A and B are shown apart, each in its own frame.
Chain A
Amino acid sequence: MTSLLLASRTVRRYRAQTVLAIVGVAVIGALLFDMLLLSRGLLLSFSDLLGRAGFDIRIVGGSGLAARLPIEGSASLIEAIRALPEVERVGAIRIQGATIGSPGKRPAAVTVIGATDAAEGAWTLVSGADLGSATAPCPLLVGRGLASALGVSPGSILELSIRPPAIRSVVPPVACQVVGVARFAFGASSDDTVATTLDAFHRANGEADPGDADLIVIASRPDAGSARAVAAIAAIRPGVRAYSNDQVVEQFNRNGFAYFRQISFVLSSLTMVFAFMLVATLLTVSVNQRLGEIAALRAIGIRRGSIASMLLWESALLVGAGGLLALPLGEALAIGLDRILRQMPGLPEQLHFFVFETRALIVHITVFVVTAIAAAAYPVWLTARLPIAETLRREVVG
């Protein structure tokens, strides 16, 4: 005849309010779980996107990651970096606005990426072949959405016309062959991106000499690590803006993700308080409903501790069942909320706001355990202070 048995019988007896309370806790718990996923989801997703390409260091021109300027003397810098023992692989990337079209069709505005072989990894091949294996003088990888819109596939010929900045005249278009369709790691669903080799980019850009890279991507040796590699790069070119993936993530965490961190904190706190207040209210009202019963139990010798234990178990059952149900509900809700937030313009297609991590699950469980205990505190205190004789008298008169 344990307190758990009494508690489970009590919640079963008041079936309607138990089911409703569990549903309420589950819904609020789902929201709490989602806010926990949101608190670091964007960061984890962004970090994953960065790491997926296989590079852990990026060098940019300009004073930060947001502004994109050519890196001065990038060719010699790349050679010097390649020679570093901490470095495994170096790639150069140039990015420019351009137009692309098939004969007879209206040109579409695109972003063209020119990359060395070593920079492959910034995209995922969906069909066809990658740039490295292509023999065409101007091989092209086309983004999925763009390929679909233009009705092109591997083998199609497109005209690429790059628009160098601050130059009035337009460079004549270059015929390029589509060798593959790809998903670009940081491409938004609304963005139209194409990629080609750096050599083809130079030719299409009408350059006599290869220009400076806009982005240098580096993979450090596993035994060296990105921190050592960044230090080695800084040593050979002081003032160069080299950022490890961790530094990139940290900078975006401080600036770009601040809103979502704040809102997840605020909403997590609110839902916790909400859940606590609701369960505490429900339990208190339920105890008030049974005061006569509880006074009689005390009168026949059932200890305060046993009654407190019973109430704690009642709270645990309600909050526990609701909290468990909150997990699949939260996952489903996260899919919906993620779909809403990913409608933000310019957001990389593969970036997600809600990412599952074990830490979120542990925090969720901890919060619910604390809530169950805290919510039972006031009802337990009520029953501990219950004047037995007065309550019995009131029950008879009432």
Chain B
Amino acid sequence: MLLTLFLLSSTVVLAAQPPSILISRQLAERAHLRVGDVVTFANDPEGTRRSQFRVAGIYEPTPDPMRFTSPRIEARMHLPDAIDVLDDPADPASREALSGINVALSDPAVARRFASDLSARAPGVVAQPTRPAREDDPFAVLERFHIAISAVTMVGGTAFLLALMVIRAEERRETVGVLRLVGISRRTLLCSVAVEGVLIAALGALFGVLLAVATEGLVNRIFQARYDTSLVFVRVTPSIAARAVAIAAPLGVIAGLGASWTLLRRSILSIVRR
């Protein structure tokens, strides 16, 4: 049943104190309401059946990722008050009808089975756990999507990294040639490249993580302002940071070694010759 909001902000002192309600911060801001204001609710746009309530408090709605684009213009009241507001005199069953029932189980692990049993026993009732199964969770799909995009970005980044490493190897061609001429082995040179690669790759990966942490706040602030929500959109957790470093660092080392090997595998003369 829809609640049509018909608001009047009034400072009229009533003989009897109207019932209390809580309103969302977004509603308070939009309708310029404060704690203590008296508002009128009606179930229809014409306001034929209206009730007055006093704003007892303003709350921040729990962010819902499934509805983050919808402005949270909402209010909370005691159930009997809500029933009185939504009552339809033409429908005797309207006082008995509910939109939803929340159930807290003593053992949350049996939620799925409980929901299934209840649906089977009560025709027309849809019961489902608040935590959906992985296959029913849209965020699980989004997670796979993001992982796929990350993988593609990594492939592209790796190609560029290799290109840069090849250029660096070429820049050092003379030095490498001279070192090989004086007897330094390929293995020694590769080891030095590997050590260098580990340092640069680790530093680079750390820099990347720090950059992500720095931009995390900015991204969240932009989207929170855009959608007027306290939902967190980006979070760099230690696990994510560790994964990023664990992937980036070896990639850097492998790219350096690979590029250096393309130079080292050639004969000494072909390295030193211009």
Contacts and interface: CB of A to CB of B under 8 A. Distances in A.
Given A31-B153, A286-B167, A20 B145 contact: no
27 contacts: A14-B167, A14-B170, A17-B166, A17-B170, A20-B163, A20-B166, A24-B159, A26-B156, A27-B155, A62-B2, A63-B2, A67-B2, A166-B93, A168-B123, A258-B68, A259-B69, A262-B223, A274-B157, A278-B157, A282-B160, A289-B170, A289-B171, A336-B148, A337-B145, A343-B141, A344-B138, A345-B132
The 5 closest A-B pairs by CB, nearest first: A27-B156, A24-B159, A20-B163, A24-B160, A258-B69
A62 B168 CA distance: 66
A23 B155 CA distance: 9
Interface residues of B, number: 38
A11 to B, nearest CB: 12
Given A14-B170, A340-B144, A345-B132, 12 more contacts: A16-B262, A20-B160, A24-B163, A62-B2, A165-B124, A170-B123, A258-B69, A266-B219, A282-B164, A337-B145, A343-B141, A344-B138
B250 to A, nearest CB: 18
Contact of A28 (B2, B68, B123, B153): B153
B88 to A, nearest CB: 13
A313 to B, nearest CB: 18
B216 to A, nearest CB: 13
B214 to A, nearest CB: 15
A278 B268 CA distance: 32
Contacts of B138: 344-345
A282 B93 contact: no
Contacts of A358: none
Interface in B141-193: 141, 144-145, 148-149, 152-153, 155-160, 162-164, 166-168, 170-171
A281 B164 contact: yes
B124 A163 contact: yes
Interface of B: 2, 4, 68-70, 93, 97, 123-124, 132, 135-138, 141, 144-145, 148-149, 152-153, 155-160, 162-164, 166-168, 170-171, 219, 223, 262
A141 interface: no
Interface in A18-66: 20-21, 23-28, 30-31, 62-63
Contact of B69 (A255, A266, A267, A281): A255
Contacts of B163: 16-17, 20-21, 24, 282
Interface in A246-262: 254-255, 258-259, 262
B164 A27 contact: no
Interface of A: 14, 16-17, 20-21, 23-28, 30-31, 62-63, 67, 97, 163-168, 170, 254-255, 258-259, 262, 266-267, 271, 274, 278, 281-282, 285-286, 289, 333, 336-337, 340-341, 343-345
B2 A341 contact: no
Contacts of A274: 153, 156-157
Contacts of B155: 27
B159 A166 contact: no
A345 B136 CA distance: 5
Contacts of B164: 17, 281-282, 285
Nearest to B223: A262
Nearest to A18: B163
A258 B138 CA distance: 15
A25 B157 CA distance: 9
A99 B159 CA distance: 55
A137 B86 CA distance: 41
B148 A97 contact: no
Contacts of B70: 255
